[in-house]
Structure 1
Amino acid sequence: MRVGFVGLGNVGAKLAGSLSRNGFDLMVLDLDPAAVAPFVERGAVAAKDPRQMAEACDLVMTCLPSPVACAAVVEGPDGLLEGLGAGKIWAEMSTTDASEVARLAEKVHATGAAAVECPVSGGCHRADTGNISIFAGCDRETFERMLPILTTLGRRVLHTGDIGTASVLKVMTNYLATANLVTLCEALATSAAAGLDLGTTYEAIRISSGNSFVHETESQVILNGSRDISFTMDLVNKDIGLFQSIAESNGVPLEVSPLLNRIFQDGERRFGGRELSPNIIKRLEEATGLDIRASGFPSEMVDDEPEAPGYEVVPRHRARGA
């Protein structure tokens, strides 16, 4: 099987790297030639445009920064739709709008090809080692066809249902991660203001009911001062904005979500859209005059879990045959 991969950014390059490392026949495409070059050096073929990739590949995966960018690749001039056909698969790995991915999937289906949305969750460091989690929204037959690829790219793979379900779940999990990040910033700033040692504060949270995946990753790079989690404020605003839109369209009167949106919109206004997302703590550093850093923490996260074959996660009610 030849696999095409469009979008070699922070996450995409690591996912495509897993395919390359595991011996897949790979074709790549990105607007930045410098992102393409390392893959070509390792044996991948560079595509000139999405159409050429769709014509040459059995499976094309996209991992792009916005729904607009994805639409341009799929249905723009020389887009994927011009090269897709029966037997081929388009897999959207971006975090995107559920209605938009469903709209594009309908156009893909009209070519005779199959479509699947498979956003990832767990951080760039886990995408780099093939240990990230993947949500897959599609019909079961397409999921079965995709499973050998998805279990190469990720450790835990969940079939979420039809197209659109994975996108809703992905923005929901990103919303929860954002809420956790903001409360951790407040906890660290308050501890520093109260005169507590921040290294001790980190351990107190880690061994307590306050612990979380976000604490064990983002709190570390916050305290190091690098704040480098390979995710930016504009992407946070996109994701939590999508979650808020889902709630509004379904009549759910959220209270925390609008506040999180205001906090990160303010952060983007102050520091810029490409500012690293953990630097939302700078709002509190500026307000208090505190420097929220401590010694002994890494500048970036590295996944120390060995790469291993992935597997399908089966929800409990299905496992019991309900």
Structure 2
Amino acid sequence: MALTTENTVVGFIGIGVMGKSMARNIMRGGYPMHVYTRTKASADELLAEGAVWENSVAALAAKCDVIFTIVGFPPDVEEVYLGEQGILAHVRSGSYVVDMTTSRPDLAARIAEAAAKKGVHALDAPVSGGDIGAREARLSIMVGGDKESFEAVLPLFQLMGKNIVLQGKPGSGQHTKMCNQINIAAIMMGVCESLAYAAKSGLDPATVLKSIESGAAGSWSLSNLAPRIIKGDYAPGFYVKHFIKDMTIALESAEAMGVDLPGLALARQLYSKLAAEGGGDDGTQALFKLYS
């Protein structure tokens, strides 16, 4: 059955920096929306726009046909899905559950297995694109799960993102996101070191950026985060504390597979130093503070 606006009630758990925009874009697509998040005030804007508040994960799960989650850390994901008051204890058979948190690949596989036993379709679908991508509905969405479930949920994914790819079996979306984060970690060190070098050499970093962002050094981080660094804007599009979580997952997964990632290990060391100095709630571009 197609998931149309007439026959589908959508639930969204986790109304944070990205979740709010993602839920809003689904609502703009015409789908009725039920929301839950730990701090109700975070959902006030969506409630004013027509979303329905639910007082618990369990209450939301019982009423919705498709449930999206984007929460903080793997223990949060485990509680939300596998806890006694979690989604899988209360969701209806035949429903779809989609975790968009960046989480552990092995946990995504466990959730999919538990969901299948209840007749529930599970996908892991972490995203990339930050607050800007979420707001403008042009996220990159990396999906793990079966093809039929992916195709059923695709119209909803298309309300949130532009680059939507089914990567493989459950957990594959999370493994792909680890590849993304490994790449970003190295790039962010390069962006910060490049701007620090430019400033120390007497160049205007903004003028340097005009030359290098469209050449071989170009990247999303250079084009979108370097201007924030130059302005001294360290507000979070993606939190340092969450990036450290992602890097830790990637390093642990890599170790289990026998893969050595020295660049990623250095990036986590630097970001951990930044967090220890009070930068855990800054955006990832705040790494520049260590160079300035």
Match status 1:210 vs 2:235: no
Contact 1:218-1:229 at 8 Å conserved across structures: no
Whole-angstrom CA distance in 2 between matches of 1:42 and 1:78: 28
Percent of counterpart pairs with the same letter?
A: 27
Matched, 1:180 2:187: yes
Query: Do the aligned residues in 2 keep the contact of 1:61 with 1:91 (CA within 8 Å)?
Result: yes
1:139 equivalent to 2:146? Answer yes
Are the aligned partners of 2:132 and 2:237 in contact in 1 as well (CA < 8 Å)?
A: no
SS in 2 for 1:155: strand
- TM (normalized to structure 2)? 0.94
Q: Give the 3-state SS of the residue equivalent to 1:152 in structure 2.
A: coil
Residue of structure 2 aligned with 1:20, choices 27, 41, 44? 27
Q: Is the 8 A contact 2:236 2:281 kept in 1?
A: no
Whether contact under 8 Å (2:88, 2:115) holds in the other structure is yes
Q: Distance in 2 between matches of 1:32 and 1:254?
A: 37
Q: Distance in 2 between matches of 1:64 and 1:241?
A: 17
Aligned pair partner of 1:219 in 207, 222, 226: 226
Separation of aligned partners in 2, 1:208 and 1:136? 30
Q: Quick one: distance in 2 between partners of 1:153 and 1:207?
A: 27
107, 122, 125: which one pairs with 2:129?
122
| Paired residue secondary structure (2:141) | strand
Per-residue Cα deviation, 1:131-177 (whole angstroms, up to 9, x for no partner): 11111111111111111111111112101011101101112102211
Give 1:10's match in structure 2, choosing from 9, 12, 17. 17
Q: Partners of 2:9 and 2:96 in 1: how far apart?
A: 11
Q: In structure 1, what is the equivalent of residue 205 of structure 2?
A: 198
Secondary structure of the 2:123 match is strand
**Larger RCO (CA under 8 A, 6+ residues apart):** 1
Which residue in 2 is equivalent to 1:155? 162
Mapped contact 2:10–2:67 kept (Cα < 8 A):
yes
1:32-82 Cα distance to aligned partner (Å, 9 max, x none): 111122222211111111111111110111100111111111122322122
TM superposition score normalised by structure 1? 0.86
CA contact (8 A) 2:185 2:264 kept: no
RMSD over equivalenced CA pairs, Å = 1.2
- Structure 1 gap segments, 5+ residues each: 286-322
Cα distance in structure 2, aligned partners of 1:28 and 1:85: 17
Partner of residue 118, structure 2: 111
Question: Which whole-Å CA distance do the structure 1 matches of 2:270 and 2:205 have between them?
Answer: 23
* Cα distance, 1:229 vs structure 2: 4.3
- How far apart, in 2, do the equivalents of 1:206 and 1:87 lie? 47
Detail structure 1 runs of 4+ shifted over 3 Å in the superposition.
none
1:21-40 aligned at under 5 Å gives the runs 21-40=28-47
Q: Which moved more, 1:50-59 or 1:101-110?
A: 101-110
The CA distance in 2 between the partners of 1:194 and 1:22, in whole Å, is 50
Deviations 1:99-139 (A, max 9, x none): 01111222122211110011111121111121111111111
Residue 277 in structure 1 maps to residue 284 in structure 2 = yes
Please say if 1:241 is aligned against 2:244: no
- How many Å separate the matches in 1 of 2:160 and 2:214? 30
Equivalent-residue separation in structure 2 for 1:229 and 1:30 (angstroms)? 19
Q: Distance in 1 between matches of 2:267 and 2:107?
A: 24
Distance in 1, matches of 2:228 and 2:256, equals: 36
Count of residue correspondences: 285
| Residues 171-229 of structure 1: per-residue CA shift (max 9 Å, x gap) | 21022112111111001101111111112111121132111111000101001111234
DSSP 3-state at the match of 1:87: coil
